Amino acid sequence: MPARATDARRAAVLGSPIAHSLSPVLHRAAYEELGLAGWSYDRFEIDEEALPAFFDGLGPEWAGLSLTMPLKRAVIPLLDEISDTAASVGAVNTVVCTEDGRRTGDNTDIPGMVAALREHGIEQVESAAILGAGATASSALAALARVCTGEVVAYVRSEARAAEMRQWGERLGVEVRTAHWSDAEHALRAPLVIATTPAGTTDALATAVPERPATLFDVLYDPWPTALASRWSMAGGAVVSGLDLLVHQAVLQVEQMTGRAPAPLDAMRRAGEKALAER
Please name which of 279, 278, 270 lies closest in space to residue 28, comparing C-alpha atoms. 270
- Of the candidates 72, 103, 161, 248, the residue annotated as catalytic is 72
Name, in order, each residue with C-beta under 8 angstroms of 182's C-beta and a sequence gap of 6 or more.
none
Q: In what order do the strands lie in the sheet with 128-131?
A: 176-180, 152-156, 128-131, 192-195, 215-218, 238-240
- The interaxial angle of helices 242-258 and 23-34, nearest 10 deg, is 50
Active site annotation includes 274: no
> 254: closest CA among 51, 28, 4, 14?
28
Amino acid identity of 86? A
In angstroms, the Cα distances linking 57 to 52, 195, 202 are 9, 37, 41
Cα angle: 107, vertex 18, 86; to 5 degrees = 10
- CA torsion sign for 11, 14, 19, 22 is negative
* Per-residue CA distances from 169 to 75, 139, 142, 195, 271 (Å): 23, 11, 8, 17, 36
Distance (Å, whole) CA 114 – CA 213: 20
Residues serving a catalytic function are 72
